Chains A and B, each alone.
Chain A
Amino acid sequence: MMKFFYNNTILQILVIVLISFTNIFSQDVVDSLAVQKGEQIFKTNCVSCHSIGTNSLIGPGLEGVTEKRKKDWLKKWINSSSDFIASGDADAIAIYEEYNKVAMTSFYFEDEDFEALYAYLKNPPIQVKATSADLVLASDEGVANSTKLMFIALFLLCLVYILTSLKNKLKESLDQQTETIPETLLNQFKLFISEHRNVVFVSVACIIVVLKFSYDSMLGIGVYSQYQPEQPIAFSHKVHAGENGVDCNYCHSSARNSKHSGIPSANVCMNCHTYINEGTITGTSEISKIYDAIGFDPDTRTYIEGYDQKPIKWVRIHNLPDLSYFNHSQHVVAGKVECQTCHGPIEEMDVVYQHAELTMGWCIDCHRTSEVAMEGNEYYTELHTQLKEKYKGEKITVDKIGGIECAKCHY
């Protein structure tokens, strides 16, 4: 799996590099810093109501908005849409009417921030469509393997046929009785087992194969990668994280602060779903389950007073045993590890499954190969100098700062 993952990343990087080159050549020189800042602003302020694509959330999708509206217009609208509507701008009123008369929050961005946001809206990131490259690759390899095997089998069969024919020819010439292929095989088998040593050898080989097989299958006990339970609400990470580009940390905010990544509480869902009543795949059926849990009336858009709230019982997918201590913030903040490194292509999953094995070997492997994110972190300043001295020229991986010691996870 690791290999495919790398392949995929390399592919993505290539695509991104290519696209960025075309961007540079085809457009005016873009202040990439401003775009980056703009992206930051967009993610913190806008993403809960707007997508960068064409699909509407609470507000319209913002693809091509810079062509559709003038810069001044946008500025007025973003700074205070209500004032703008009050000023009687026809377009503004039209949009207000179109989107259920929900007024947009007034932001009053500094000029610099607005410029950055504008630059970002003008140069939105090119959506890298998730390809099923790895799957194709995998099946290709599978097909290739089985064809190879078939060829070998055919070849062997031909060989047997030729040899038997030859033998029969020779026997004929000696006037001995000829044998058919099954007869030959039977006779050879009898000859083979008449030798005591052969029997012992074969039995030992069989035992080894069986033991190896059982050992491997025993190792798999308690390993539940690909575990994909059905959840009480058919929540799609593909729609949220993939298509709408909601930041993982928006919902799993405690991943930055705590050992738990945290399943978002229903009030976090309601930040968006107060307005979004209909899903792209399941319509109202799944979203209404949130309303049912928290006690929200979508028609009047109010919370029902005195409602007997029903907690949502999600099925936990990643179950580490209690004997090991794992901390999300350690990896996400201090280690700067991407969520996908362990959770796989979560933005492509409609139903989440366990991507990694979550075995100790898997942890240790990563700790042996991952470099510690020491640069720019004052905690490491002194340690970094010491370690550079100690491991001259080597990569400073997690195991070199004690990352594979028992009591780092077991206490």
Chain B
Amino acid sequence: MRNAIINISMSEMKTTKKYWKGLAQLNNDPIVEKLAQNEFIEELPVDEFLGDKKNLSSTSSSRRDFLKFLGFSTAAATLAACETPVVKSIPYLVKPDEIIPGVANYYASTIYDGRDYASVLVKTREGRPIKIENNGTCSNSRIQASVLSLYDSARLKYPLKDSKETDWQTVDLEIKEKLEAVTDGKIALLTSTIISPSTEKLVKDFSKKYKNVEHVMIDSTPYDGILDANMDSFGVRLVPSYSFDKANVIVSFGADFLANWMENEYSTDYVNGRNPKSGKMSKHYQLETNMSLTGANADERIRIKPSEQGYLISSLLDAVNGKSFDENLLNQCTNGKFSKIVKALKANPSKSIIVSNSNDKNVQLLVNAINHTLGNYNSTISISSPSNLKQGNTNKLDNLLSDMKAGNIEAIITYNVNPSYSLAKATEFNDALKNVKLKISTSLYNDETSSLMDYVCPDNHNLESWGDANPKYGNYSLMQPTISPLFNTRQFQESLLVWTDRSDYLTYLKDFWINKGIEWHKSLHDGYFTLNEKKLNIKRFIDQSVLIKSSKSNSETIDLEIYETIALGDGFQANNPWLQELPDPITRACWDNYLTISLSTAEQLGLSNVNVSNGALNGSIVNVTSDNDMELLNVPVMISPGQATDTVGMAIGYGRTKAGKAGNKVGFNAYPFLDAKSVTLTKVDGEHEFASIQLHHTMMGRDIVKETTLNEYIKNPSSGNHRETYETYKGKLPSDQVSLYEEHDLETGHFWNLSIDLTSCIGCGECVVACQAENNIPVVGKEEIRKSRDMHWIRIDRYFSSDMTKELSAKEKKSAIDMFSEMEVPSENPEVVFQPIMCMHCNHAPCETVCPVAATTHSNEGLNQMTYNRCIGTRYCANNCPYKVRRFNWFQYSDNDKFDFNMNDDYGKMVLNPDVVVRSRGVIEKCSMCIQKIQELKLNAKKSGQPIKDTDAQTVCASSCSTNAIVFGDSNNKESEVWRLRNDERAYDLLDHLNIKPSVFFQTKIRNKA
């Protein structure tokens, strides 16, 4: 019709200009005319359904009926919305004495999964474990996260026979029959390092019943070098215990002892030996390949290739022995630090520690010789009270493998290990497994190994088990269940008992310890006990070391260094989404492993990392071939400052195929490269998408982390802690004296403060997981992290130093643009600082003033409160927050199939803390300073009529911190630790010039360097 009108008006106006709607009109196509007459020339198919008389008559609903239905359903829906749902309350029929609904119980227990050990307190609510707390010892992020692994729905729920569900009777009957039938061959028991004395006895009992039992222990990363070296030096195959707190000089060759090397105890000791206040601070040299957590904390970090390590250690032995060594060459490859190390070591006899991560016995023999020469044994290193956490024996494993190949093994039982995944020779193992008649796994999962086995007799989780542990000579701890087994599983020890015609491991365990004169109930209550044991038979030190005369380093090849990440470790908890989403402290990436490479090597090979338009990080992809003919395709490359030139790092623990929905297909499996020394890289087209939560790596000349050196600090305790001043009519004044704000009354009542010591913080991320567990923080997955939509309430910012400084730029007269663009690039071997950032609870909070609905307000105790049910999601507060700590719920993260993690799982939800709400879509959330714990603390004090004890005041980040870097308390209590820290010369407010008066403050970082 409109066409027609246009034509008419055109002709009426009689203009020469004519407009055509299209070529068809210009060409006088008849269709145009037709359309002009009738827009809908195609008949509506009314006849089709009206013509179908039969169908029409069979439906009885008329249009009026339809309207009736519509009206009725609308009314019904409206009414239903107003109706209260009837809520049922079901009390216990017979209430257990110890449970009061709504009150948490704590049980002392032990976590040991074959790799990580900690004595812990388990917080339970209504019989559900919901949080792991430290019990005097130090833990790590994996220990903290293990409570979620308990509720992993990927765990086996019943025993399996040939991958099919069966029951325990069948399994036991058949296994016993088959074990008894073993006559010629051997029964192999392949386990992780066992630190449980009662289990050791059980294994012996088992060996008595069934002859020819061979027990082989393996560690996921082998420590044979150091174990065998000690066998040669002292006649015992043991790992000594190190006292890093007693050492004045620490020289570590690649050993990441603050994170994954040996055990997690060392970080506490290390930080205890570095207390600037007392003036005693160890000097820590780290000579390493990858930028490790330990290297990041070292006073002096020297980049070396793994192939150079042996020669350096050998030369160090010569040097401390006073023999001649090639000082120039060594100083050259250690950036001039070698002579300094030698000098420092000589100046501190018997007060140093030398450690190496090498798995080469000869290298470890040299290390032993140096430690012996320096007199460190029985001073900082104790071989007479060794650690029991690493006892794996690769020789025995190799023998087992050849026996399996030869068909000498008739039955194999695995416990706490996943050899089909974690052995360097996994394929060889899998092939050899075919020769074994009876294959039994006791894994919690139907994992890579279990799926190849005849029988899977699923073990209980630690939190469902009884047990004991002897992590260190003379030190013991007990494990008690804090929940009944969730599934039809059975503890490994119970299985062994059943297979030796007995039962009841608890009685067995109790008898075992009561016979040794242990007070069972007291020990169980405390969780740990000590025992005077007979001395180990340790021989006098015999120097068996052989000097390594030259460096094997070859500048042609790229050396490979395998490492473990802070989050996943050996990868046995790969299906734990908290760990998958815990960003690596150095690269700040999660949900991935990659090849770490230095910038110069990457440039040589044409590899790069780029930030795409939304800021997310992309990296080049390479194919990797190793010197032992292993190949990996499409491996992403992450440029990592501090990586030694011509080396790459690769993390194990990823690339699981049968872990569960969170752990499968994340990254690649680097275990086959465990024995490789060097690799060749070939660039492949395409880019890999990383999920990295920090995209800016330097401080750009600002003093976000204020730091100084030990010497400066001793001269002036407030050195490095400079406050900016403003020009006013009264002269130069610091920001708090030119305030326009009305002050809150913070003197009355409590004033909750948090102090973070940047000298003690090692950046391990344990607080991040602890916070996630306590505060019901959702997991958002890789895609969302890539969009910088991480939900962690506490993050640990990592900054690298840059070669360009403001002073240098002024000297070289660089333009500001040049200066800042150069400042963005971290040094090749940068200094690293870690800074935990959570809501600073500003007392002049910028977020509070911009909220249109007063959803974020200030409390009279100095806290910035966030009220979710009031928030309408404008995100003004997040925009106005100078620390960027506010998190927005972009989606509903619970009960949402798009976020298929623990909050979308009936089992996974059992870990939620009932005292904290689960936030819904469209609201902001942030650190509440564990308000639920503060409220509980105050309430308990009010109920008991006692003032609050300073030590009772804890947030979870503070209580989980193994190095005591985070201290929480009431600053209005003049006896509190936090008050002392508030008034320390090192205390400073982050972004002090804004005068927003945060309740969280930092202590300057102090390095022990010249």
Contact = CB atoms under 8 A, between A and B. Distances in A.
Contact of A406 (B86, B102, B857, B944): B857
A57 B94 CA distance: 23
Interface in A250-264: 254, 257-260, 262-264
Contacts of A311: 90-91, 93
Interface in A315-368: 315-316, 319, 322-323, 325, 327, 329-330, 333-334
20 contacts: A229-B86, A258-B101, A260-B101, A266-B94, A309-B93, A311-B93, A314-B88, A316-B88, A327-B939, A333-B942, A334-B939, A378-B947, A386-B747, A402-B861, A406-B855, A406-B857, A407-B857, A407-B865, A407-B928, A408-B859
B102 A378 contact: no
Given A315-B87, A407-B928, A262 B917 contact: no
B857 A405 contact: yes
Contacts of B88: 313-316
B515 interface: no
B943 interface: yes
A386 B749 contact: yes
Given A329-B939, A411-B865, 11 more contacts: A227-B84, A259-B102, A265-B94, A312-B91, A313-B89, A319-B87, A325-B935, A334-B943, A379-B947, A410-B870, A411-B928
Nearest to A380: B942
A339 to B, nearest CB: 17
Name the interface size band of chain A. 35 or more
B496 interface: no
Interface string B730-758: 00000000000000010111000000000
Interface string B398-425: 0000000000000000000000000000
Contacts of A257: 100, 102-103
A182 interface: no
Contacts of A390: 745, 748
A377 B103 contact: no
Contact of B87 (A262, A293, A316, A408): A316
B942 A254 contact: no
B91 to A, nearest CB: 4
Contact of B100 (A254, A325, A333, A386): A254
Given A264-B91, A325-B915, A406 B939 contact: no
B876 interface: no
Given A329-B939, A402-B860, A411-B917, A266 B93 contact: yes
A265 B93 contact: yes
A325 B867 CA distance: 12
B869 A410 contact: yes
Contacts of A258: 100-103
Contacts of A329: 939, 943
A386 B751 CA distance: 14
A287 interface: no
B942 A377 contact: yes
A241 interface: no
B857 A314 contact: no
Interface string A282-296: 000000000001100
A399 B843 CA distance: 20
B606 interface: no
- Max count, chain B CB within 10 A of own CB: residue among A265, A268, A401: A265
A267 B82 CA distance: 37
A313 B748 contact: no
Contacts, number: 147
B291 interface: no
Nearest to A290: B93
Nearest to B973: A382
Interface in B889-917: 915-917
Contact of B941 (A229, A379, A410): A379
B87 to A, nearest CB: 4
Interface of B: 82, 84, 86-95, 100-103, 745, 747-749, 855, 857, 859-861, 863, 865-870, 915-917, 928, 931-932, 935, 938-939, 941-948
Contacts of B855: 406
Contact of A411 (B87, B89, B916, B947): B916
A227 B93 CA distance: 26
A402 B102 CA distance: 24
Contact of B859 (A316, A319, A402): A402
A390 B63 CA distance: 73
A312 B939 contact: no
B21 to A, nearest CB: 50
A294 B95 CA distance: 12
A314 B91 contact: yes
A257 B944 CA distance: 11
Nearest to B855: A406
A333 B943 contact: yes
Contact of B939 (A330, A405, A411): A330
A380 B84 CA distance: 41
Enumerate the 5 nearest inter-chain pairs by beta-carbon distance, A residue then B residue, closest first: A407-B865, A258-B102, A334-B942, A265-B95, A265-B92
Contacts of A266: 91-94
A226 interface: no
Contacts of A402: 749, 859-861
A383 interface: yes
Interface of A: 221-222, 224, 227, 229, 254, 257-260, 262-268, 293-294, 309, 311-316, 319, 322-323, 325, 327, 329-330, 333-334, 376-383, 386-387, 390, 401-402, 405-408, 410-411
Nearest to A260: B102
Contacts of A376: 945
Contact of A267 (B95, B100, B870, B939): B95
Contact of A377 (B860, B863, B945): B945
B102 A410 contact: no
Given A313-B90, A402-B860, A386 B101 contact: no
A316 B865 contact: no
A181 B504 CA distance: 99
A105 B930 CA distance: 48
A185 B766 CA distance: 84
Contacts of B928: 407, 411
A227 B86 CA distance: 11
Given A314-B90, A316-B87, A377-B945, A407 B101 contact: no
A374 B857 CA distance: 26
A262 B943 CA distance: 18
A323 B93 contact: no
A293 B94 CA distance: 11
A411 B95 CA distance: 29
Contacts of B948: 379
Contact of A407 (B90, B95, B102, B931): B931
A322 B945 CA distance: 29
A382 B942 contact: no
B93 A267 contact: yes
B726 to A, nearest CB: 32
Given A265-B94, A314-B89, A378 B101 contact: no
B943 A407 contact: no
Nearest to A377: B945
Contact of B932 (A229, A334, A386, A411): A411
A32 to B, nearest CB: 25
Contacts of B942: 330, 333-334, 377, 379-380
A218 B92 CA distance: 37
A263 B857 contact: no
Nearest to B745: A390
Nearest to B88: A313
B943 to A, nearest CB: 5
A401 B745 CA distance: 12
A267 B749 CA distance: 43
Contacts of B863: 407
A221 B867 contact: no
A407 B94 contact: no
A73 B866 CA distance: 66
A312 B917 CA distance: 27
Nearest to A227: B84
A401 B869 CA distance: 23
